[in-house]
A and B are shown apart, each in its own frame.
Chain A
Amino acid sequence: MNKNIFSYSVKWFLIVILVSIFLWAFLFDAISRPKDTETVSLFLTAEASDSTKLRERLTLDGVTSSITTAAESSTYYSVQFTTTALISSDLIVMNTEKMPETHAEMQFAPLTNDLLEKYGIDATDFKFVTSEEIPYAIVVFDKEHDINLFDGLARFDEAKTYCIAVNVTRPNAAPFSTANKTTDNTFVALTKLLSK
């Protein structure tokens, strides 16, 4: 090995090795990060939840799940509800009173009979929350009517009713999604979540 060439090359060897470490760290960070369509997220308005059991119900092949649980409070609804829940989660469990009275289609997917049938959900088994006479959410907790679809999964405020809706601003709510390159993972996850 020529000594002059080797000593000249040493600094270049170090530069090349450092550059390759940084280059692949950045590239692998980018390629290994789950895409939006590879994660189904649930925002749960509840006093407590068993996220392990919920994740078991939600998990689909090749798709990871993420669950955020928050108790209802005036602060959370005035600030966090519009930012965290409505913008970043695929499935939203919320206080039924929060369903918009008009233009609900801008935020939630209409849960029509045809759509529910497609995913194997029997509409007669559920109670719906409507907006302008179109069902947009399924009631998951109503103490008065003895409904608790999340029994063993979450504990709700018994004085209120809660429903689950599909967020259309996320890329997992095809064909209603307003994002590009959509999947129907949210509906599949909803079916799994509601199945007993």
Chain B
Amino acid sequence: MKRLFEQSEVTAYRKLQRKYIIVWITSCTVALALLIVAVVLWKQLGRVAAQTIATICTAVIGCVSVYLPQVMALNRKKIDFVQKMLLKECKTVHLNNLSVAKETTTYDGLQFYEVLASEDDGEHMYYLFPQKHLEENTTKLYIVEKYICGSEAENNE
């Protein structure tokens, strides 16, 4: 069985999460400090310069606070997903044939490749996490709910 997920991925996503938090806090702190300086020293800087700095800093704080929480929420979902793939027990599925979609589709907030698997009892749809690959001669899939967590190819047997 070739496992598609590893514990190191969770660690990498967690590191990324910390990086996002640091970027968020740093950019907000710097922008807030500049904004305060602009407001306090508006007479020295001139009204136009101070107002422009304050506007840009507020926009930066606002935009970062709109964008980064969403990126972090997505990253959190990825962590939870990979952890689920590592911890939950896999179900084995025997394949006759499979085809992987070229474009990703969003399912439950995350993006996946749709995998159409032909089995003895008919066709079933599974979801493959991006950056994971299935070999053409895959004969077995390991499934958690509808998500692929591992595979087995003919030449691996």
Interface set of A (CB-CB < 8 Å, partner B): 2, 4-6, 8-9, 12-13, 16-17, 19-21, 23-25, 27-28, 31-32
Contact = CB atoms under 8 A, between A and B. Distances in A.
Interface of B: 39, 42, 47, 50-51, 54-55, 58-59, 62-63, 66-67, 70-71, 74, 106, 111
B74 A28 contact: no
Given A2-B74, A20-B59, A13 B51 contact: no
Contacts of B74: 2, 5
Interface of B: prevailing SS? helix
B55 A24 contact: yes
Contacts of A25: 51
**A contacts with B: majority SS:** helix
Given A17-B59, A24-B55, A32-B47, A5 B42 contact: no
B54 A24 contact: yes
Nearest to B64: A16
A5 B71 contact: yes
B70 A5 contact: yes
B62 A28 contact: no
Given A16-B62, A16-B63, A20-B59, A28 B106 contact: no
A147 B54 CA distance: 54
A32 B42 contact: yes
A13 B42 CA distance: 26
Q: Which of B47, B58, B111 has the most CB of A within 10 A?
A: B58
A187 to B, nearest CB: 25
A28 B58 CA distance: 14
Nearest to A28: B51
Given A25-B51, A28-B42, A28-B50, A20 B62 contact: yes
Nearest to B62: A16
A25 B74 CA distance: 35
Given A4-B106, A17-B59, A9 B70 contact: yes
Contacts of A2: 71, 74
B47 A28 contact: yes
Contacts of B51: 24-25, 28
Contact of A20 (B42, B55, B70): B55
